[in-house]
Amino acid sequence: MKPEELFSLKGQTCVVIGGTGELCGAIAIGYAEAGAEVVLVGRSEEKAAEKLAVIEAAGGSGYFLPADVSSAGSLQDLLNQVVDRSGKVDILVNGAGVNSATPFLEIPEDEWSRIIDVNLTAVFRACQVFGEYMKNATHPCSIVNIGSMSGLTPLSRVFTYSATKAAVHNLSKNLAREWGENGVRVNTLVPGFFPAEQNRAVLDESRIASIMNHTPMNRFGNSDELLGAALLLAAPKAGAFITGIEMVVDGGFNSMSL
C-alpha cells in the first residue's frame, strides 16, 4: 500500500472540538488536506473562517459549527447536525482546553471547577455522546483526545491543568479497552511544549529557559509538527491496530531527567 493511501482520510468526516485554536486548527487543516471533510467546533466563527480559508485554498472541504462543550445536549445537537449534513462521523478530536498558573494553595474552587469542566468533563461528555453513535456505526471510528506532557509528568505552576490531562489519559485508555471490539479506537495525542494559546500565560523567560534545558531538541514544537502523529492515530488504515496509546510528540522532553 502506498503511503498516500495508508495515511489517507479520503471519505472520512472528522469533528475537531477546539478546531478554531492553534494546535487543533493545524490538525484540522492537515486532516482536510489528507482528504477528510472537517467540522471545526469552537466559540469563534472568525477564527474558524481563517482556518476554513486555508482549507479551501488547499482544495479541502469543511465547515464551522458552534457548540457548548459544557452541555451534553449541545454536543448531541452537534452530532445530529453533522450526521444530517455529512451523513456520518468517522473521527472525533477532543482538543478544547484552558490553563492557569495560580499557585496551588491559592486556587479558588471556581477556577478548579472551570478547568476541570473544560479539560476533562467536556471530553467525558463528548466521548459519551459521540461514543454511543460510534459504537453502533457500521464503519470503523477513531477518537483522538488531546493530552499533555503534564499528564505524564507533573509540571509546576499548572496544577489543575496537569490533573485534568492525567485524567484524560486514563479515560482514553479505559474507553479503548471498552470499545475495541466495537471498532472504535481511542488514543491520546500528547504534545510537549507548543505555542498553544493556553500556554502563553505561564511562559516567562525563566520558565522558557527551564523548558529548553529539559528539551533535547532545544526548541518549541511547531503546530504542524503534531500532524504526522495525529494522522497516524486517525487514519483508518495506518492506525487500524492502534488503540489505547499515549503518543508523545515533545522534542525529547519526556526522555530527559538531568
Could you give the angle at which helices 227-234 and 22-33 cross, rounded to 10 degrees? Answer: 60
Active-site residue flag, 161: yes
Task: Give the residue carrying C-alpha cell 493511501.
Answer: 5
Pairing of strands 13-17, 37-42: parallel
Q: What does R_g of the chain's alpha carbons equal in angstroms? A: 18
**Catalytic: which of 31, 63, 133, 161?**
161
The residue type found at 106 is: E
- 238: Cα within 13 Å, side-chain hemisphere: 18
- Closest C-alpha to 25, from 197, 250, 164, 201: 197
Alpha carbon distance 17, 172 (integer Å): 16
Three cell numbers at 34?
489528507
Q: Which residues contact 245 (CB under 8 A, 6 or more apart)?
A: 187, 188
What is the side-by-side order of every strand in the sheet holding 91-94? 61-66, 37-42, 13-17, 91-94, 141-146, 184-191, 246-249
Burial of 2 (0-12, 13-18, 19+ CB in 10 A): exposed
Grid coordinates given for 222: 511547531
Annotated active-site positions, please?
Answer: 161
